Amino acid sequence: MITDKQTTTASERNRLDVAGLRQLVEARAGLRLIDVRTPGEFDTVHIPGSCNVPLSVLREHRDELCQHLHEPMVLICRSGQRAARAEQALAAAGLSYLRVLDGGITAWQAAGAPVRHGRVRWDLERQVRLVAGSIVLTAVLASVVFPPAKWLAAAIGAGLTFAAVSNTCAMGMLLAKLPYNRGPRTDLDTVVAALARDRR
């Protein structure tokens, strides 16, 4: 008979809760904390001692980055979803000492764990809600005088539905490219330099 324990996926086994990470950090367990959010998100708030390796940079330069990632790692993002994608990419490259912070930095902050603050920005999810909601509201109001405008609201609804089903968000990716969200420059050379500096 197969139990629930036996059917746990590898991704679920690699999850680490906030309490577990706090214990490891306090014990100075030789972990490398890798935050895969955008530079802007990282600049706004991050766990002290973490290094920003945006998911886009990690995916594009995975093999080069793997040469600099030797310690056990905990991957962090806002909620755990992007970190799980980073885990899959790094595991496919042969790294096996990976954990994902369950609930991401949102759970970390909710638990009152220490963070370092920078420039205040709205997170991407909140920005998506604002932009999508504003477009839908404008389209519905405009449809009173120009009925075809309702199809713009329908298109946004379809896009949000697709985003939920595919676990991607085109609007979020576009908003991340805005200067407001970019934060400090983060390319491969910058990331590699930060990884080397953190190792010292």
User: 43: which 2 tokens?
Assistant: 């600049």
H/E segment holding residue 117:
strand 116-117
**Mean pLDDT on 78-101:** 90
Mind listing the pLDDT tens digit for each residue in 120-134? 878 778 889 999 999
Q: How many residues does the chain have?
A: 200
Contacts of 43 (CB under 8 A, 6+ apart): 118, 119, 121, 183, 184
pLDDT band at 34; cut points 50, 70, 90: very high
Give residue-wise pLDDT tens across range 162-179: 988 887 788 887 887 787
pTM of the model: 0.72
What pLDDT shows up at residue 6? 41
Mean pLDDT, range 66-85, rounded to an integer: 89
The pLDDT tens digits of the residues spanning 22-31 come to 998 888 767 8
pLDDT tens profile 135-162 = 999 999 999 999 999 999 999 999 999 9
Residue 100 CB partners (closer than 8 Å, separation 6+): 11, 14, 15, 16, 74, 75, 76, 80, 83, 84, 87
